[in-house]
Chain A
Amino acid sequence: MRLLGREISCVRGGREVFSGLDFEVAQGEALAVIGPNGSGKTSLLRLVAGLLAPFGGSIALEGGDADLTLPEQSHYLGHRDALKTALSVSENLCFWRDFLGGARLDPAEMLAKVGLDHAAHSPASFLSAGQRRRLSIARLLTVQRPVWLLDEPTNALDSAGQSLFTTVMADHLARGGLIIAATHIPLGVAARQLRIGDAA
């Protein structure tokens, strides 16, 4: 499995964010997208996720499930955690398990893995920012997808949470998944770097 981006250019609101961007991520590999604020890291992830249309260029997943599109085989972990505050923690997770479909693991077990099992039945509105992040990570674990698109994944996580997430990413890569992460701080797993927006 290989994720290929060729000559991608992105235009937002009439302004060119980046152009002529090439990248390649192979199975079991992580790509860290780095660059200053506003350089288009989030835009790149949203292009790969199919949430933005590229101005030019192509993005393709080679060797994936031929019946599914790239977004359908991807997890997107954005700035917003996609939680309903009116629902409980486990209701949120079970909804995404049922809605996203595909290969699934036990939500309760995954909640325990991210350290939220004690809060499973409390409303999601009571969660702190870091706990919301942990719940989003539980979603990545519960529904299995080969491609992970992570936007500042360790934001708001404490140091224990960060090391937990490092293990989670390492496991995902070891199983043959691939990761593209926009980040300011080192990911913690071996990753190639893609620098955008710099003069260099």
Chain B
Amino acid sequence: MLTEENVMNTLRSVIDPEIGLNIVDLGLVYDIIIEEAMITVTMTLTTPGCPMHSSITGWVENQVKSLEPGYEVFVNLVWEPAWTPEKMSDEAKQSLGQ
């Protein structure tokens, strides 16, 4: 059975091509809800107006869809609460030189 944890793990394959880190470690994924045949991923991006917007949300959609056929995927891109560096995992912080 598909769990939020499965979805979160597959999202570790979605990598910000500029930073080179996955969106989970970057702290961009806020919430995952699985309801019947619908998976909603609530997430943000590091910068509003980032030109990588459509690529990353498209990547999330494709990645989650590939996990379990038959589910609809909705990527809910939010700017509140805004992303802050504190949301990153320790590994991500370390690899950015913090």
A and B: interacting chains: no
